[in-house]
Amino acid sequence: MSDLVPSSTDAQDASARRPSAPPPPADWSSDLHATLANQEASAAELRQDLDDLRRTLDAAPAARSGSSRRPFRSSPVVAGATALALAVALAAVVAVGLAERPTGSGSPAGAPASVPTSAAPYPSVTTSGPSAATTTPPRSTPRASPLPNWPGRSVPQPSGLPARGVGADQSGTELTAAVVGDRSVAVYERAVLTPGGTTLVLHPAGSPGLARSLDAPPPAVQDLRAEVNGRPVAVTRTASGWSVPSPGGTKAARLTLRYQLTGALVRREPAPPGRYTLVLTPLAPSAGDGADRAVVVRISDPRVDELYCPAAANQLCGRVDGDLHTATVPSGASPVVVALVTFPS
């Protein structure tokens, strides 16, 4: 019986060969949360340090102009340290977020927001300039100028104007011409309309065929001024003549014109010494409305030999009264009057 009882030595050997009992389970969840909490606290402290660093950099004074030393913010060392610190802080924040996120979709309350990877683009800037359709500058607005004084007088009207007749109190046009010292021609026209419209369109009398028959180009009109119903009005040049408005939109009853003619005196060969042909092409008859009903031309000049109407059937349309020569254009004929003028040699 004594052989069946193990000895104390055997019992110890058996106890040594028996595997040791595992240690009691540790609280691993609480350790993980403690580690994450420490990392989040460290990240928060790092973010605070970065904010302080940024404020310090922003508050640093700008480098003095002309100094060879670069500003503090442009230092490569500071720039590299700032970038490294930002990268570490970003990695810590992402690590904390991933550790606290449970398995599965969704994020727990209080999880850090995702970090944007790109900034919003700058707003586009549109520059505007003048339109390419801009054309030539607008023309200046014509002004209403008063009639100039007649040569040798202090008033616009020539001397000796009749108080009655065509252009005075009867429908039609009366033209008075005078040869001035530089051999240009001053012209004064007055017309009575029946009345006419609110805008009068004027152009010189005559035709290209008549100019060829006279072997003389039409004279040029310069410094044209006008009065309608006794008031000065603006004169606008057109492609073929002039446009004259009636003041206040009223109908034109009286028209007065004042201008100079250049190129009106033409030397035709063969001709006696000092002999010139004076070509007069009235403007007012083209207004119509009675201004073309009758046309009378007057020249008071001892150098004038005679007047005639080249476009009329009876070209001898002039009469003489001392130094005054008067031509009455026959009805229906073009109101062009030609004078023969002899200048002393």
Contact 233, 144 (CB under 8 A): yes
CA–CA dist 3, 14 (Å, integer):
17
CA–CA dist 288, 173 (Å, integer):
10
Which pLDDT does position 13 carry in this prediction? 52
> β-strand 295-300 against 324-329: which pairing, if any?
antiparallel
Cα distances (Å, whole numbers) of residue 40 to 31, 82, 99:
14, 20, 10
Question: Per-residue confidence of the chain (345 residues) as pLDDT tens digits?
Answer: 444 444 554 545 544 455 555 555 545 455 555 656 666 766 677 677 667 766 766 655 544 444 444 444 444 444 454 444 455 444 544 444 444 444 444 444 444 444 344 444 434 434 344 444 444 545 556 789 999 999 999 999 999 999 999 999 999 999 999 999 878 999 999 999 999 889 999 999 988 888 788 877 889 999 999 999 999 999 999 998 999 999 998 999 999 999 999 999 998 888 889 999 999 999 999 999 999 999 999 999 999 999 999 999 989 999 999 999 999 999 889 999 999 999 987
Which residue's entry shows tokens 């009398």? 205
Handedness of CA 344, 324, 326, 193 (dihedral sign): positive
Contact 183, 265 (CB under 8 A): yes
CA–CA dist 147, 158 (Å, integer):
12
Which pLDDT does position 136 carry in this prediction? 54
Upstream peptide bond of 19 is cis (omega within 30 degrees of 0) = no
CA–CA dist 113, 129 (Å, integer):
45
Full set of structural domains in the chain with CATH? 172-342 (2.60.40)
Contact 175, 296 (CB under 8 A): yes
The phi, psi pair for 266, rounded to 5°, reads -120, 135
- DSSP alpha helices (H): ranges in the chain? 8-17, 28-59, 76-100, 208-214
Spell out a b/e string for 103-113, using b for 16 or more CB atoms within 10 Å of the CB, else e: eeeeeeeeeee
- The residue count for the chain: 345
Q: What is the 3-state secondary structure (H, E, C) of 73-94?
A: HHCHHHHHHHHHHHHHHHHHHH
Per-residue tokens: 190:
């007055």
Cα distances (Å, whole numbers) of residue 69 to 54, 66, 115:
21, 9, 36
205 residue type, one letter: A
Which pLDDT does position 51 carry in this prediction? 74
CA–CA dist 242, 200 (Å, integer):
8
The two most distant CA atoms of the chain are separated, in Å, by 194
> β-strand 254-262 against 220-228: which pairing, if any?
antiparallel
